[in-house]
A and B are shown apart, each in its own frame.
Chain A
Amino acid sequence: MNFKESYEIITVPEQGIEIIWDHFHQNPDFFERIAYVYQALKSEMKTYEAVEVSMIYNKISVICSLELVQQVKAHLKKSVDKSSGHKIESVHWKIPVFYESELAKDYAYLEEKLQLTRTEIKELHQSRTYTIYGIGFLPGFLYMGELNEKLNVSRKLNPDLHIESGSVGITGAQTGVYTVNSPGGWHIIGHCPIPFFNPSSENPAWAKPGDVVSFFEIDKNTYELIKIQVETTVFDIKKYLNDSI
């Protein structure tokens, strides 16, 4: 399927436009090109204050005034044309997880449902590098996939009313870390000591769609140490870039 011909531009009345690529599942190479188009559009439109460009999976949303729509469409066409063979700016984050946390309370259910041991679940979760497909649901929440099929479990029928910020969850082919306390239906397998969202910073989130993430296990002492670093602002997220580890 041709990337350039398989998207549709849909008007969102009084809001802007949405660009949707169909046949996304059949074409795994589409995502990187969509992320490229997103980054290009975002940088082209950054001088306009009232424009909001965002993306998730196979869709880019542009909130803008009616007068700007033609200009957005022109930039869109240009960046779609340029997207083949263009490498996106992508960063690999290595994120610590304390899998033995008492907040990871869904192992009993998962061991039974998936017919796997706790160790196997932990290892499978760490065995892959996940793509960030978008940010949403909560401020700074990363939609990440694809999980190993052996970990595929549908979301809870009755969502938990309180999931602690930092909880690492899985559902379907996705994994994610709750960035603030919230209700939620994912199964919790660990706790991450580093913050994903800081509303006091000009750049409140460190990751972006198109970046990749892998997880590594830490013990209780390391977990407590990182938590102290975060509280005392000694913490620097750049330490968790792949090449610094």
Chain B
Amino acid sequence: MIRFKETGFYTSIQDRGRFGFRHLGVPVAGALDQISYQNSNLILGNESNTAAFEITMLGPTIEVLKRCCFCVTGADIEIDLNAESVPINTAVIAEKGSLLKIGRVKNGLRAYLNFKGGFSSEIKLNSASQFSGITKENRVSPLSTYELKEDFSNLISEYKSNTLVSTVEQSELMQLEVYKGVDFRLFPKEFIETLTKTEFMIGSSVDRMACQLDTKSELAHTIDRLSSPTYVGAVQCTPSGKLLILMRDSQTTGGYPRLLQCTKHSVNRLAQIRPNQRLKFVLND
């Protein structure tokens, strides 16, 4: 068993996502950075849909009440096991009674803490991904405990590390690959030039629903349509000219026109972007 002494800034349980209920208004949810999440299962040799804890900005402090094997992937983050630093992207054994303290993110925004064999949590509509109105809680709460599914009391050394694709942006200006969105055709030609020439700034809101960019008055418009389906990675443009990039918890329908569509890889990269970082769109044909 593990117990959360502190939960960190925002820690939630996530997996690949919830499929087959979109027509009922249920967002797909799931780990925002699917690449880093899948890496955690690869390193531990888990089944690919084993749920992990998604950590944002500041990690949790956890009491390990049963010998286990864990790893952390994604953003560059401080990981201390019994006050000793352990590496990222590496399977590490924690003895019973250990204290695992995950600190601040140094680069990127989200990290994934996963356990070999997985842990028990509430499954709703075929997924462990926490979401308001579907699961009882939308994030891990203080002092909550989770049962580890398998016993690793005899596991000897699992110091397995991996060189992996990183989704964390290294350059000052993110070049984000996008396609034309479903409603691209409704916008005037001048928009397109503005879009690809302009540098955008990430706003203060980068939650699981959407990533907001700063308002550009050149992108203001009066296009008004009936509510439409939305897609993960759709870039909506509000009448005032603010771009909203929809993430995995976003509602399944929305009123703003869908100007661009991010590649799936772009969505994973956006999961690691921070407020005030700069971004430029690269339009694929």
Say whether A associates with B.
yes
- Enumerate chain A interface residues (CB-CB to B < 8 A): 10, 12-15, 18, 20, 24, 42, 49-50, 52-59, 61, 63, 134-141, 143, 179-182, 197, 199-200, 204-205
Enumerate chain B residues within 8 angstroms of A63, measured Cβ to Cβ.
22, 231
A18 to B180, CA, bound (A): 13
- A14: nearest residue on chain B (CB-CB)? B264
Q: How large, as a class, is the contact surface on chain B?
A: 20 to 34
Q: Judging by beta carbons under 8 Å apart, are A18 and B229 in contact?
A: yes
Q: Judging by beta carbons under 8 Å apart, are A56 and B227 in contact?
A: yes
Q: Judging by beta carbons under 8 Å apart, are B263 and A197 in contact?
A: no
Minimum Cβ distance to chain A for residue B138 (Å): 11
Minimum Cβ distance to chain B for residue A31 (Å): 11
Q: Judging by beta carbons under 8 Å apart, are A135 and B226 in contact?
A: no
Query: How many A-B contacts if CB must be within 8 Å?
Result: 109
- B267: nearest residue on chain A (CB-CB)? A14
Closest 10 pairs between A and B when the two form their complex, measured CB to CB:
A136-B253, A180-B133, A61-B229, A13-B179, A54-B23, A57-B226, A52-B22, A199-B134, A136-B25, A205-B24
B227's partner among A20, A50, A143 (CB-CB below 8 A) is A143
Minimum Cβ distance to chain A for residue B216 (Å): 23
Q: Judging by beta carbons under 8 Å apart, are A197 and B133 in contact?
A: yes
State whether the Cβ of B21 lies closer than 8 Å to any Cβ in chain A: yes
Beyond A24-B226, A61-B229, A143-B227, is A135–B24 a contact (Cβ under 8 Å)?
A: yes
Beyond A14-B261, A179-B133, A197-B133, is A42–B23 a contact (Cβ under 8 Å)?
A: yes
Q: Judging by beta carbons under 8 Å apart, are A15 and B231 in contact?
A: yes
Interface residues of chain B: helix, strand, loop or mixed (majority): loop
Using a CB-CB cutoff of 8 Å, which residues 216-242 of chain B contact chain A? 226-229, 231-233
Beyond A135-B23, A199-B135, A204-B24, is A13–B227 a contact (Cβ under 8 Å)?
A: no
- A50: nearest residue on chain B (CB-CB)? B19
Q: Judging by beta carbons under 8 Å apart, are A59 and B229 in contact?
A: yes
Q: Judging by beta carbons under 8 Å apart, are A10 and B253 in contact?
A: no
Enumerate chain A residues within 8 angstroms of B134, measured Cβ to Cβ.
139, 199
State whether the Cβ of B166 lies closer than 8 Å to any Cβ in chain A: no
A-B CB contact pairs (8 Å), 15 listed: A12-B182, A14-B264, A15-B232, A20-B182, A49-B19, A52-B19, A52-B22, A63-B22, A134-B253, A136-B251, A137-B252, A138-B133, A138-B251, A139-B25, A204-B125
Using a CB-CB cutoff of 8 Å, which residues 3-42 of chain B contact chain A? 19-26
A15 to B266, CA, bound (A): 13
Enumerate chain A residues within 8 angstroms of B179, measured Cβ to Cβ.
13-14
Enumerate chain A residues within 8 angstroms of B264, measured Cβ to Cβ.
14
Q: Judging by beta carbons under 8 Å apart, are A204 and B21 in contact?
A: yes
Q: Judging by beta carbons under 8 Å apart, are A53 and B226 in contact?
A: no
State whether the Cβ of B124 lies closer than 8 Å to any Cβ in chain A: yes
State whether the Cβ of B170 lies closer than 8 Å to any Cβ in chain A: no
Q: Judging by beta carbons under 8 Å apart, are B23 and A12 in contact?
A: no
Q: Judging by beta carbons under 8 Å apart, are A138 and B229 in contact?
A: no
State whether the Cβ of B171 lies closer than 8 Å to any Cβ in chain A: no
Minimum Cβ distance to chain B for residue A205 (Å): 5
Q: 0/1 per residue, B165-206, Cβ < 8 Å to A?
A: 000000000000001101000000000000000000000000
Beyond A12-B182, A54-B252, A179-B133, is A138–B23 a contact (Cβ under 8 Å)?
A: no
Using a CB-CB cutoff of 8 Å, which residues 108-155 of chain B contact chain A? 124-125, 132-135
- B255: nearest residue on chain A (CB-CB)? A137
